Amino acid sequence: MSDPASPWTLARRAARLNPSTIREILKLTELPGIISLAGGLPAPESFPVEAMAEASARVLRDQPREALQYAASEGFGPLREWLSAQLARDGLKADPARILVTTGSQQGLDLVGKVLVDPGSRVAVEQPTYLGALQAFAPFEPEFQPLACDDEGPLPEAFAAARGARMAYLLPNFQNPSGRSIPAARREAIVAQAAAHGVPIVEDNPYGELWYDEAPPPPLSAAAGEGAVYLGSFSKVLAPGLRLGFVVAPAALFPKLLQAKQAADLHTPGFNQRVAYEVVRDGFLDTHLPAVRARYKRQRDAMQAALQAHLPAGCRWQKPHGGMFFWVELPPAVDATALLPRAVEAGVAYVPGAPFFSDGGRSDCLRLSFVTVTPERIDEGVRALAGVIAQALDTRKAA
Ligand SMILES: Cc1ncc(COP(=O)(O)O)c(C=O)c1O
């Protein structure tokens, strides 16, 4: 509502910027004594503090003036070369000249939205999907088009209805929030159907390196070529505070994304890029990532065991093979949003599922994170959650 005493008139797009539900919930979880399974943050114990300290000192000693100067909007050349070599290991051929370093992959989402979406443009999204992407695209006023999904991700036949969409935003590895992954055969079918119906793919892959059972199949972008944009991030492999991500863009988009990047923040901090490069250049991740995977796998297994032991019949979930999240579907008509205050009273917090649906669709599901809580506390938290769900079921039966 406009205030007649105020000289400020907000842009229409500002009305579409809303407080992040997750941030609001995270505030709740900071209350003392709450076991928070709500967070989306990596475990701080996994941050390579020593390696970062040494690399920062080296950068300040050997290249201080370059590191502290304005820099190229595309990103630090050696880091882009390293990324290209790294992506080749995952099966994605990426010319360093088409890699744009971004200030977190969240900025990549904003730039992609800016360059591709007009008011009313259709953007096809998974159900559920990453809330932060819905928030990044929303100010450009798209019409979100839900893609029908099952436990293996979007159905290939769903792409026919997406013909004419400016993009399909897809998360093939250990999706946030559902934890699901798209198997190799489904990936091939999706790429074929997306190409057949002229739907470009925006592939977001911040969790691909966090696998606990086996490495994921090659990215969609490997097969989709010029029909895909690929987004990656250092947040889950080094540390999110670096705010380092990247976009691999087709020739048709790279110049526009670069211009949007220039207008947004000129460039991603050169100091951070050089420090990250110093950390990773000589194979650091080959020892660091297995340690992170081993830590998270223990926690993933603890959560799987706790869910099996405690959740009442009628709850449904899939064990994720990587990433940070379990997605629990509750028995019909148990509302996860309505249940949250009772769960917090019982000492446990989670994120209700509804905001992850572009149409606000389903409230009978919730997201649990396992990476920042010890196995013992995971068991305690899941037990408390199970009690609250069981109580809701009893109340429903009695009604
Ligand atoms: C699916 C997904 N995409 C993008 C991001 C943003 O990551 P970054 O820290 O690289 O901006 C996140 C963060 O949690 C995410 O879960």
- pLDDT 10s digits, 321-356: 999 999 999 998 899 999 999 999 999 999 999 999
Which atom in ligand 1 lies closest to the alpha carbon of residue 108? 11
pLDDT of residue 7: 92
Report whether 134 contacts 16 (CB < 8 A).
no
The token pair at 57 is: 């000192």
Residue 206 alpha carbon to ligand 1 centre in Å: 6
Cβ-contact 238, 279 below 8 angstroms: yes
H or E stretch at 365: strand 365-369
Give residue 105 CA to ligand 1 midpoint distance, Å: 6
Residues of the chain where predicted confidence (pLDDT) is lower than 70: 1-2, 20-23, 25-26, 29
Tell me if 37 sits within 8 A of 370, measured CB to CB: yes
Span from the CA of 312 to the centroid of ligand 1 (angstroms)? 32
| pLDDT at site 260 | 98
247's enclosing H/E stretch is: strand 245-248
d(CA 123, CA 115): 13
For ligand 1, atom 5, the nearest C-alpha belongs to: 106
49-282: which CATH number, 3.10.20.30, 3.90.245.10, 3.40.640.10, 1.20.1250.20? 3.40.640.10
Q: Which of 170, 233, 247, 372 to mutate to test the pocket of ligand 1 (most atoms within 8 A of CB)?
A: 233
What is the location of CATH 3.90.1150.10 in the chain? Answer: 12-40+286-393
Give helix then strand counts, H and E, for the chain. 13, 15
Q: Is 42 exposed, middle or buried (0-12, 13-18, 19+ CB in 10 A)?
A: buried
| Residue 23: per-residue pLDDT | 67
Residue 361's pLDDT is 75
pLDDT of residue 4: 79
Ligand 1 atom with the smallest distance to the CA of 103 is: 11
- Topology at the third CATH level for domain 12-40+286-393: Aspartate Aminotransferase, domain 1 (3.90.1150)
pLDDT of 3 reads 74
Residues of the chain with CATH 3.40.640.10: 49-282
Pocket of ligand 1 (CB under 6 A): 40, 104-106, 130, 132, 171, 176, 204, 206, 233, 235, 240, 245
Q: What is the pLDDT of residue 359?
A: 85
Which residues is 372 bridged to in the sheet? none
Nearest residue (CA) to ligand 1, atom 6 = 106
Q: Are 248 and 233 in contact (CB under 8 A)?
A: no
Give backbone dihedrals phi and psi of 247, rounded to 5 degrees, phi first.
-125, 135
Closest residue by CA, ligand 1 atom 14 = 40
| Count, residues in the chain | 399
Which are the contacts of 315, defined by CB distance < 8 A and separation ≥ 6?
307, 328, 329, 330, 331, 389
